[in-house]
Structure 1
Amino acid sequence: MSPGRSYHHGDLRAALIEASFEVLAENGLRRFSVAAVARRLQVSSAAPYRHFPDRDHLLSAVSAAAARDLRDAIGSAADAAGPDPADRLAAAAGAYVRYVTRTGAGFHVIFATELYEVADDARREQTRALMSTLLDLAAATHTGSHEDVMLLVEATIAVAHGYTSLFADGFFARNARTADDIANRAVEAAHALTTD
């Protein structure tokens, strides 16, 4: 749904989630609000509360959708990278950069601390599946213990999120870098994590 386009009929719950991604991409998590989402859809400020009791419940639904979609993007990128386990894991970093620059919904949204108290089985299922995918990709590189695998996932996420944050903050603007350029840099940096 494009900015300024009003919501008329259909599934308001789904439209609220979709518009939430647009608000996150433009304003970030700190400035995310139910009122901003309602304005984007041109519905009353009370309309979202028929589907979500508060900001955190709307954000929880966005988190579940983001975890699902990011997992799909990572899976596709890993498959496109070929059979080498290091290439497949590194591709996850590039997929992360591309997804987050487009949607604004990275791990800071998917695992937002304010969501820990929200009882949402759908979100928990999707976030577990996302982490399982990343753990499987890291484990395939034969890094050793479970702790080593966890550290490799952590480092891969840190690389990807770091590049995404720097891009969002305009760090690369002077050199006119695109999101794809930054995603490719993240892939190279993540690949270095598995090089002896």
Structure 2
Amino acid sequence: MGNGGLRERKKARTRETILREAFRLFRERGYHATTTEQIAEAAEVSPATFFRYFPAKEDLVALDRFPPLVEALAAQPPGAPVTVLRGAFRTAFASLTAEEIAAGHAREVFAATVPELVAANLRKASGFLREVGELLAGRTGHDADDPRLRNAMGAVFGVVTLVWLQWARDPSMDGPAELDEALAHLESGLRM
């Protein structure tokens, strides 16, 4: 592995350190009482480095991107929209460690409990959904503006949201397994 791989690993470690320290401070002091300067100091990075990774404090908990899902979606074989998305979620979770899944879940639960973060995530969701829709169109042979594709995405992300909310209430739940089971049910046509 060359310097590019080493550099990417270092960037990923720095990003995770900033996130870990931010959430530690949020839990200790509260979201509103924690400043970006305090987070940078705790993560042992400069404020400029902090802002290179996260342009604003709300970006620490923004749900507008789930890179493993985007990467997994781009690599899925062609198929029906729900099948392709189910495979992408399964692949994305398989690429993460248990610690990464737990950390991501903790961030998402937090993002769903601070009103300003809920609003910020709603503002950012359209860009993420557009990106997913374009990738999904390429995997399914449908136009990105096809209402049937929109409907399938809406069904999948509706199921994902409901599973996520249940997982937030019950952290002992195996979220990835429950999500896969729920998407399998959707894939089957919601047969009871």
- Structure-2-length-normalised TM-score: 0.52
CA distance in structure 2 between the partners assigned to 1:188 and 1:21 by the alignment: 32
Q: Distance in 2 between matches of 1:146 and 1:62?
A: 31
SS in 1 for 2:51: coil
CA spacing shift, 1:68–1:191, aligned 2, 3 Å: same
CA distance change for structure 1 residues 71 and 95 in 2, over 3 Å: closer, same or farther?
A: same
- 1:184 to 2:190 alignment: no
Cα distance change on mapping 1:115 and 1:54 into 2, 3 Å: farther
Counting aligned pairs with the same residue, the percent is: 12
User: Could you tell me how far apart the structure 2 residues matched to 1:156 and 1:94 are?
Assistant: 13
Residue 154 of structure 1 deviates from its aligned partner by 1.4
State the alpha-carbon separation in 2 of the partners of residues 56 and 163 from structure 1.
30
Long gaps (5+) in structure 2: 1-8
* Aligned partners of 2:64 and 2:121 also within 8 Å: no
Contact 2:70 2:132 in 1 (8 A): yes
How many residue pairs end up in the alignment? Answer: 163
Give the counterpart letter for 1:52 in structure 2.
F
Q: Which moved more, 1:12-21 or 1:183-192?
A: 12-21
Are the equivalent residues in 1 in contact too, given 2:90–2:180 (CA < 8 A)? yes
1:134 corresponding residue in structure 2: 136
Correspondences of 1:63-102 after superposition (within 5 Å): 66-76=65-75, 78-79=76-77, 84-85=79-80, 86-94=82-90, 101-102=101-102
Separation in 2, partners of 1:22, 1:49: 18
Q: Higher helix share goes to which structure?
A: 2
Which residue in 2 is equivalent to 1:19? 17
Question: With structure 1 as the length reference, what TM-score do the two structures score?
Answer: 0.52
Q: Distance between the aligned counterparts of 2:22 and 2:49, measured in 1?
A: 21
Q: Whose relative contact order is higher, 1 or 2, with alpha carbons under 8 Å and at least 6 apart? A: 1
Q: Residue 158 of structure 1: CA displacement? A: 1.4
> CA distance change for structure 1 residues 54 and 160 in 2, over 3 Å: closer, same or farther?
closer
Distance 1:54 1:84 in 2: 35
- Structure 1 residue 114 corresponds to structure 2 residue 120: yes
